[in-house]
Amino acid sequence: MESEKNKSNKTQFGFSIHWEGLYFNVEGDKKIRKAFFSKEPFFSYKTSALTEKIEKYFKGEKVNFKLKFDLELPRFTKKVLEKVLEIPYGKTRNYGEIAEELQTSPRAIGQALAKNPIVVLIPCHRVISKSGIGGYSYGVRIKKALLRLEGVDIF
C-alpha cells in the first residue's frame, strides 16, 4: 500500500538538464522542493517558464530566479539559506561574513549550507571561504564551474 501521509505533495513538475557531465534536476509542485545534481537524469519531462530560465542560466545568461521554495528545515538552516538568497548573481561572500551577520560561527554556516536541498537556485555556491573556495556537496569542480559560469574568475 502506498502511504497517504505524504501530505498530498505529489510532484507536479520535474525536469533534468545536462550540464558539465552531470544532470541538474528540479522537482516540486506549486513550489520548488528539491534541486540537485546526479549522474543520471532523474526526470524525463520538462515544463514551463522555469525550465527556460534554468536553461538560460546554464548557458551563462544572467538570470535571477524569483521563486517560492518549500523548505521544511530547522529554523537556523532556513535563516542561513534565506541570507544566501540575497547574494546577487556573480557575487560571492565568505562563511565568516555571513556568520557575523547571524551572530554565529563560520562552521555553523558551512554545516547549514551542506543541507541546501535546492542547490543553484539557492546559490550556496556563492559562499566561499576566506582563504579559498571552500567546499561543495557535489564537489569543488562543480562549484568552480558555477562560479565561472557567473563570471567569477578568481579560481
In the complex, the residues that contact DNA under the rule CB under 7 A are 74-77, 94-96, 104-114, 116, 119, 124-125, 127, 129-131, 134-137
What are the helix (H) ranges across 25-135? Answer: 48-58, 75-85, 95-101, 106-113
The minimum distance between CB 17 and DNA, in angstroms, equals 19
Distance between CA atoms of residues 70 and 28, nearest Å? 8
Q: Which is nearer to DNA, 64 or 105 (CB)?
A: 105
Annotated catalytic residue: which of 113, 119, 121, 124?
124
Give the pairing type, strands 13-19 and 22-28: antiparallel
Residue 26 a catalytic site member? no
- Residue written as grid cell 546559490: 123
For DNA, the closer CB: 29 or 97: 97
Q: CB atoms < 10 A from the CB of 5, how many?
A: 6
Cβ of residue 80: shortest distance to DNA, in angstroms?
A: 8
CA torsion angle 30 36 41 47 (round to 10): 20
Query: Of the two residues 124 and 152, which places its CB atom closer to DNA in the complex?
Result: 124
**Least Å from the CB of residue 83 to DNA:** 13
Residues serving a catalytic function are: 124
